[in-house]
Structure 1
Amino acid sequence: MFNTKKIILSRKIILMGILLVFLLILTACGNNGEEMPQAKENAFLMDTLVQMRAHGENAEIAVEESMERIREIEKLMSKTIETSDIYKLNNNSKTEIEIDNESIIVLEKALKYAKLTDGDFDPTIGALVELWGIGTEDAAVPEQAEIETALANTGYNHLDLADNSAEITKEGVKIDLGGIVKGYAAEEVKKIVQKYNIEHAFVNLGGNVLVIGDKVDGSPWKIGIQDPRQGRGNVMAVVDAVDLTIVTSGNYERYFEENGKLYHHILDPKTGYPADNNLLSVSIISENSFDADALSTAIYVMGLEKGMKFIENMENVYAMFITEELDVYLSSGLKEIVTIKDSDFNIIEGEEIAN
């Protein structure tokens, strides 16, 4: 169960169809009615819109330092910035490359979840991502032979890590940290916020939402889960949260249609195609964005039954699945903290299917 002292139960800016909506009712006054300094900033970083807001005596410097920290991480781990560690690895296969310790940390976590999920999350999916081109002007369904070639160049066993270096051991394999690096950045922002003793803050990295503390009036932050059938701003569920992260992966965050069929960006590393498992979205709710980021992708790829079993065996990690039939399956402990706002959705306690 959740620690109710940290999470009071019951917005996401949507870019390119991102699923999570952050609903904010903000005030500049604290519990005692006194004015509280606040700072906010929006920036396009990590190929998405990043929002941050903080309240407190050190709010301005905390926000400035946090946004700069995200820029630093992007420069290290972007697959398109030529000076980044990931670009160097992807373009120098079969060569041991010295990389920053931070890149090692993220790659180690990515390999951890690749192993835990038996490859349902895989940081070496770059060849498939480039082939499909979803989210770009070149998006199209590849030929089967092309998919098979990209699949042959996918596999976390082709990535070797050492204390301060990494190596892609097979030519053609490429790393893509899009499914985990925003979570790492969110946790780094949390450290900065805590360093400056900020008790009320949120950061939204393109759908990876982290709230620190409660709102300045003492009420919980409200995090809305978007109705996956509709456009931005349409919420089907709300979670009231303190010190919580929510990361959602869905089948129309980024997608294209060809011959009447929708192809979304969450690729199954084992088939080479977008995951096809009757799910509209999966939301991971936990206290750590680094883990939740990887898990949201992996659990979506797993599908409902396998994904629910996986989550039920984890501590302090929870999941909400929305199926094409508009059934909402909640892992143990979530029913009492998630409020469904649309009667079209049917809420189901999901631990039964995990047994």
Structure 2
Amino acid sequence: MVLEEKPAPMKIRANVAFDSQRGLYDLTFKALGTDCRIQYTATSNDQAARFAKEAVKWVADFETKYSRFRSDSLISVINRNAGGAWTEIDAEVESIFAICDDLHFMTQGVLDPTMLPLIRLWDYRDNHDILPDEKSVSETRGLIGWSKVERKLGAVRLPLKGMALDLGGFGKEYAVDKVAAVAVGNGIDDCLVDFGRDIHALGQPPRYPAWHVALENPENPGSVWGSLAAKDIGVATSGDYRRFFEHSGQRFGHILDPRSGRPVYNGILSVTVTANSCLEAGVLSTAVCVLGEEEGLKLVEGTFGAEGCIVMNSGIQQTSKFHERMVEN
């Protein structure tokens, strides 16, 4: 068995400022491959600074341990051992893998932490002069399957050489919820955690009944088509309108369907979901992109506390109560 070795924690450069007009502290930094921003109230500068320090440390520790982009992360160690030895894991990792079980089941298998081989095959950042052929897609699909991962108390193993884990399908959303919990643990009741538009809204900002969350127009990125009133909920948006490549006039987005082994192409431009947590909202929004309009809306409507909206080439579809969260402009 390969023992888990703790890598040196990554360093995050953060900035916190107080906006006297809005009565909010504003903490910003880059992590998890995106821009992170936390707006919050505090009763004193000491409380504000203590929370900021704990929040940034939690994110740094999480990325150090679970990022596939770090060669010394635990995830990278597990991936290097694919087809070989077991890797030792702790109770925290076991709890995250248990979450993977739940999410995989909830999304009918379309959220699969073993998708990394397919992600590499269709990497939108690469030049694709020639698209992956059927043989390469089929062979890569053979490496996919959460049920293939072997687990026992305190250890995990990927049985096939070439298999690889990636928690990117839900890791950022999980981190958002955890940082919101850090805020609560520091006595902060009003806080908006926003990691690359994956959001957890606690309470409300001063002088307003809720936080306002803008909804980006996927047909004109940078512009807004509406906004949500968010209070004690998670909000997430998924879509392929920012991360994609083009080949022979066709766009191939970064969201992949493990069932076909190919990028999703079903007319959906973006999906926004509100739920009881950012993790739930993020997983549902991605699942809807894969499952499509009809099955996706059924999934959201069948999830307690969740509402969703789909922006498509043909128009907008939403669950029955999504409009109740919209803010009239």
Q: Same fold (TM over 0.5)?
A: yes
Counterpart of 1:18? none
User: Partner of 2:188 in structure 1?
Assistant: 198
The percent identity for this pair of structures is 24
- Does 2:318 correspond to 1:330? yes
Whole-Å separation in 2 of the counterparts to 1:231 and 1:242: 25
Aligned structure 1 segments of 4 or more residues deviating by more than 6 angstroms: none
The answer for the alignment partner of 2:94 in structure 1 is: 104
Query: In structure 2, which of residues 99, 104, 109 is the aligned counterpart of residue 119 of structure 1?
Result: 109
Where does the alignment leave 5 or more consecutive residues of structure 1 unmatched?
Answer: 1-25, 31-35, 342-355
Shift of 1:337: 2.3
| Contact 1:111/1:123 (8 A) holds in 2 | no
* Number of residue equivalences: 307
SS at match of 2:225: strand
1:318 to 307, 320, 325: 307
Question: Which residue, 146, 151, 156 being the options, matches 1:161?
Answer: 151
CA shift for structure 1 position 27: 6.0
Question: What is the CA deviation profile of residues 257-311 of structure 1, one whole-angstrom value per residue up to 9, with x for unaligned ones?
Answer: 1111111100011111111222111111012112222222112101111111112
Aligned with 1:250 (options 239, 249, 262)? 239
Deviation at 1:28, TM superposition (A): 3.4
Q: Is the 8 A contact 1:126 1:174 kept in 2?
A: yes
Q: Does 1:230 align with 2:220?
A: yes
1:278 corresponds to 2:267: yes
Distance in 2 (CA, whole Å) between partners of 1:66 and 1:169 is 36
Deviations 1:194-238 (A, max 9, x none): 011112221211121122110022331111111110021x11121
The alpha carbon displacement at 1:138 in A equals 4.2
What amino acid sits opposite 1:178 in the alignment?
G
Which runs of 5 or more residues in structure 2 are unaligned? 1-17
Q: 1:261 aligns to what? A: 250
What residue in structure 2 maps to residue 62 of structure 1?
51
The match for 1:28 among 16, 20, 23 is 20
Give CA deviations for 1:100-156 in whole Å, capped at 9, x if unaligned.
Answer: 33322222212222123232111110000011111x244563222221111111111
2:169 pairs with 1:179: yes
Are the counterparts in 1 of residues 114 and 145 from structure 2 also a CA contact under 8 Å? yes
Q: Give SS of 1:335's match.
A: helix
- Higher RCO (C-alpha 8 Å, min separation 6): 1
The reply to whether residue 52 of structure 1 matches residue 38 of structure 2 is yes
TM-score between the two structures when normalised by the length of structure 1: 0.81
CA distance in 2, matches of 1:331, 1:142: 36
Q: 2: distance between equivalents of 1:106 and 1:253?
A: 28
Contact persistence 1:154–1:269 (CA under 8 A):
yes
Cα distance in 2 for residues equivalent to 1:276 and 1:179: 18
